[in-house]
Amino acid sequence: MLTLKEAEEKILKLREEIEKHNYQYYVLDNPLITDAEYDRLMQELLALEKEFPELVTPDSPTQRVGGQPLEGFKTHVHRTPLLSLSNAFGAEDLWDFHRRVLSTLGVDQVEYVVEPKIDGLSIALYYENGLLQIGATRGDGFTGEDVTQNLKTIGNVPLKLKENIPLLEVRGEAYMPKESFRRLNEEREAKGEVLFANPRNAAAGSIRQLDPKIAAQRDLRVMVYDIMYLEGKEIFRHSEALELLRQQGFSVIEPFISSSMQEIVDYCAKWAQKRHDLSFEIDGLVIKVNDLEKQKRLGYTSKSPRWAIAYKFPAEQGVTKLVDILVRVGRTGAVTPTAILEPVRLAGTTVSRATLHNEDFIRDRDIRIGDYVVVQKAGDIIPEVVEVIKEKRTGEEIVFHYPTHCPECGSRIVRLEGEAVARCTGISCPAQVREGIIHFASRNAMNIEGLGPAIVSLLLDNQLIRDAADLYYLQFADLVKLERMAEKSATNLLNAIEESKTRSLDRVIFALGIRLVGQRAAKILAQEFKTMANLEKATLEELTGINEIGPKMAESIVAFFKEEKNREFLARLKKAGVNMESVETSVLSNKLAGKTFVLTGTLENFTRKEAQEKIEALGGKVVGSVSKKTDYVVVGAEPGSKYEKAKELGITILNEEEFIALLDRRD
């Protein structure tokens, strides 16, 4: 019988040995022992921890084994938004990106880091004092799902870092190796189960299993490629970040580093040919500015960083027959043609529909019903018709005539001069109404669970709603009379609608479907105006004065709120109790309200994050770059180019002592 101290020593030794072998197997792909020997070590550790449960810790290798099924995933708000990347589909796009970077920075040369873009599920991992605390999916970039228990089952996700780093947040991609995907589908086929379409879907489906034991049974990996937040260490280049991640036990792909865009273009072309040689799927390469200070200077658009771009490989193509062309009316009235195809396999999925973009696209390529066409997935995601194989024509093909009237409401379809898209002119077009309600209820907007397209159509067909505001006035007695709507379903739907009233202001703004206003822009508008009433009164000048809100978006916002029917719609939402204000919980006073700060250099008494929190708690705002609209630039030791720009523009510059005095000042 072992004493507690002897057991602790043996357990620590076993854990160290098992983690060494995990690293050799999952990260270095170089196992030093057989599976049987590894299993023996794990069983010995499990037995000891069972005998001495007080010695079990969260970072033990035994904690990778799936536990009890979860009731449901909790949401997790990311500290740093996980933005998407803009895409390059050819050499010219890469050169355009390069020219924009040089022009913005005012330099002649920039060093880039190039990494493979793994085709998997984007995730974030959060460590405190060296221990894994939370693993979450990307979600909408701002809020994801807490899938910690499932990510813990993945062998190359460190449960404990090599060093005791106070805070580290990283971003990576969860994926399934090609061979593991093949074996999984063979097992599912033998059991008569539905096959996964591709490794990406298999990885995403595994990570989002409510039973961690299922995720543990599947051979998943995580490749980490970015540090989102770091305390306790300082890095200045993205390549340094990758090396730090490698030192902490993460799997990291060796990057290609170059200051020559021509070299990078050639490198992309080479990997477009070699992509299938890897043991996992990649759908492109990511090119990032290496210098982190230059990244900050380049900043972000509302959707993506200006310092990075994703080069997407040329799409995989296939040939099939176009059997029909249908048109669909969207929530903005846009009339979009869709090709109905004989099913064809492309990039691991079966495609039976493809976009035809617009009227000009069909006419210029002389696309006819019955044609054999070349189909590809643009960026390996959206199927599109590329060209017609006219040599295969029999003479029985039918010329497609674009409709002159809406197939849903009969209103005229018009195409304004200078626009590629034709639109339905019907004010009450049911297709626009239906699509608008579906968008309003969608996950990234009001997130009304159970209100999918079929239920929306059911409510509209039975004249229980005319628009999304009517959802908040539905009655139980009316719902239970509908087909497929039992008492429980009706109750659940009404509860979901009631719960949606508490959604944050940015989600309500996004739900309105204002043209050109996406999720990021909605969040910016909510932060800037605080209430829907303030946004409703915003002028064109006020809107264009906001960083990331361009003139076209500003015009669209002003036009939306000018419409009387839109103001009536908002009034009905407000009357129903839908939230119309930002919830500010951390503002202690408003003495810095309306003031914009930029921080540069190293402060002695605060971290950057602490300084930002102090400013925001007093109603101020911190931005990443200096402009004429900046009120104060706070300067620490070894300030960067922001300090020089502040002097050049005559912005008020505060040293740390003056900054503290401003915070402590009593107004």
Query: Which residues are marked as active site?
Result: 117
- Tokens standing for residue 138: 């990307």
* 516 close to 524: Cβ distance less than 8 angstroms: no
Give the gyration radius of the chain's Cα atoms.
Answer: 28
The residue among 84, 102, 101, 81 whose CA lies nearest residue 310 is: 84
Sole residue written with tokens 């599920």:
121
3-state secondary structure of 206: helix
Evaluate the CA torsion angle 279, 282, 269, 317 in order and state its sign. positive
- CA-CA distance, 248 to 268, in Å (whole number)? 29
- Tokens standing for residue 242: 């990758």
Q: Could you tell me where the beta strands, DSSP code E, fall in 473-631?
A: 596-600, 621-622
- Tokens standing for residue 171: 């971003």
The packing angle between helices 261-274 and 91-105, to 10°, is 150
- CA-CA distance, 85 to 309, in Å (whole number)? 6
- Tokens standing for residue 67: 């536990």
Q: CA 489 → CA 451, 453, 502, 654, distances in Å?
A: 10, 15, 21, 60
* 618 close to 639: Cβ distance less than 8 angstroms: no
- Tokens standing for residue 267: 């490198």
The DSSP string of 524-553 is HHHHHH-BHHHHHT--HHHHHTSTT--HHH
